[in-house]
Amino acid sequence: MSDSERKPVLLSGIQPSGNLMIGNLIGALRSWAELQDRYDCLFVVVDLHAITVPQEPAELRRRCLDFLCLYLACGIDPVKSTVFVQSHVPAHSELAWLLGCHTYMGELSRMTQFKDKSKKQGENIRSGLFFYPVLMAADILLYGADLVPVGDDQRQHLEITRDIAQRFNQLYGDVFTVPEAYFPKVGARIMSLTDPTSKMSKSDENPRSYVALLDAPDVIRGKIRRAVTDSGTEVRFAPESQPAISNLLQIHAALSGESIPSLESRFTGKGYADFKEEVAEVVVRAVAPIQERYRQLRTDKAGLEAILGDGAARAERRARRILDKVKRKVGFIPRT
Ligand code: ATP
Ligand code: LTN
């Protein structure tokens, strides 16, 4: 294939922590599946990122395979796209060190995700949590990714990745592609069902704050019915004054495809209860096919391992090329 025919590269990843939920689907996974044909895609289960906070080893192992299955169940095709586990390709850790030596403490201290997550860690904050954005930059720059589809919370991490790439290129000549972020048009920031002022998060200790992709239909209905609502009574999109109902409108619109103005007019004069019932049905319908495919895939352990083996081999070959170039550029002598 000539350069002009080559598809642009797309890369994204999710850390195997907590339970994959509808925010991850709407903010990230769905765009991945949609963009898959137009881009040369790499989708990573970023387990090195997961251990920046404590994890139970057996659970981490199980969750890596669960997440892989959910990637596939959401429509990722492992033949078209390269799907792999981050720790299987050591070049990620190696490049993270090289990039870390070109990243400033001041830049990392400004990361809001670090500030938020470190607050929850008590006294012993793992230094990996501080270094996290550098590892993410390594994931992206290692494959020359042009596009990175993520939710809104990753905006700052994409900016620092671009800054590191540009700094590196200025020092050593063009080595890295400077990536662009891609955010979905609706639903880039889905909020918690129990606190609509903070983002829905798959590691939230309260499982009622999110709808997991593997929640049973009645669990989903219960969570949406009990989701906090605002003091008003109208179904109206007003994120400032009615954050809870606006969030439910976003979830409905993102999963049903119906526009927010159309939902507002259809629910004029009706109460929150009717609206919540419909939101619940939309969510149940959206996750049902994912759950069915997940169940079929999850029992085939050998099949999943084969996909990961193939993905790691393909990723490794590509990563080596850029890593070797970076090492040459910084002045390391080649191994003979
Ligand atoms: P954790 O709570 O375990 O830190 P998380 O729920 O924030 O995880 P990540 O692994 O950090 O999920 O993110 C995976 C992808 O899902 C990212 O692209 C992220 O931007 C997106 N995402 C996460 N939460 C939301 C949300 N509430 N709305 C939209 N997109 C989201
Ligand atoms: N930090 C991201 C997960 C992540 C990622 C990546 C996303 C790690 N490496 C590379 C896109 C590209 C998050 O969502 N918390």
Residue 193 lies in a domain: no
Q: Are residues 53 and 163 in the same domain?
A: yes
The span from the CA of 292 to the CA of 296, in Å, is 7
Which CATH number characterizes residue 73's domain? Answer: 3.40.50.620
Whole domain around residue 144: which residue ranges? 9-183+301-330
Q: Are residues 169 and 36 in the same domain?
A: yes
Buried b (16+ CB within 10 A) or exposed e, 106-143: ebbeebeebeebbeeeeeebeeebbbbbbbbbbbbbbb
Amino acid at 25: L
Ligand 1 atom nearest to CA at 187: 29
Q: Could you confirm whether 329 is annotated as catalytic?
A: no
Q: Are residues 44 and 60 in the same domain?
A: yes
Tell me the best of 10, 32, 49, 89 to mutate to test the pocket of ligand 2, counting ligand atoms within 8 Å of each CB and taking the most: 49
Q: Are residues 164 and 272 in the same domain?
A: no
Which CATH number characterizes residue 212's domain? Answer: 1.10.240.10
Residue nearest to atom 16 of ligand 1 (CA): 24
The ligand minimizing its distance to the Cα of 116 is 1
Pairing of strands 40-45, 9-14: parallel
pLDDT at 122: 85
pLDDT at 137: 98
Residue 2 lies in a domain: no
Residue 306 lies in a domain: yes
Q: Could you confirm whether 199 is annotated as catalytic?
A: yes
Residue nearest to atom 11 of ligand 2 (CA): 12
Q: Are residues 271 and 142 in the same domain?
A: no
Residue nearest to atom 4 of ligand 2 (CA): 13
Residue 191 lies in a domain: no
pLDDT at 2: 55
The span from the CA of 326 to the CA of 68, in Å, is 30
Residue 223 scores a pLDDT above 80: yes
Q: Three-state DSSP class for 149?
A: strand
Q: Are residues 279 and 166 in the same domain?
A: no
Residue 319 lies in a domain: yes
* pTM, entire model: 0.96
Specify whether the CB–CB gap between 219 and 284 falls below 8 A: no
The span from the CA of 8 to the CA of 23, in Å, is 26
Q: Are residues 17 and 139 in the same domain?
A: yes
Q: Are residues 113 and 222 in the same domain?
A: no
- Per the rule left: phi > 0, alpha: psi between -120 and 50, beta: everything else, 113 is alpha
pLDDT band at 1 (very low <50, low <70, confident <90, very high): low
pLDDT band at 233 (very low <50, low <70, confident <90, very high): confident
Residue 3 scores a pLDDT above 80: no
Residue 262 scores a pLDDT above 70: yes
Number of structural domains found in the chain: 2
**Active-site residue identified among 80, 120, 199, 329:** 199
Q: Could you confirm whether 270 is annotated as catalytic?
A: no
Q: Are residues 159 and 227 in the same domain?
A: no
Residue 148 lies in a domain: yes
Q: Are residues 157 and 277 in the same domain?
A: no
Q: Are residues 112 and 217 in the same domain?
A: no
Ligand 1 in reach of 276 Cβ (< 6 A): no
The ligand minimizing its distance to the Cα of 140 is 2
Residue 222 lies in a domain: yes
Residue 94 scores a pLDDT above 90: yes
pLDDT at 247: 97
Ligand 2 in reach of 92 Cβ (< 6 A): no
Q: Are residues 238 and 119 in the same domain?
A: no
Residue 18 lies in a domain: yes
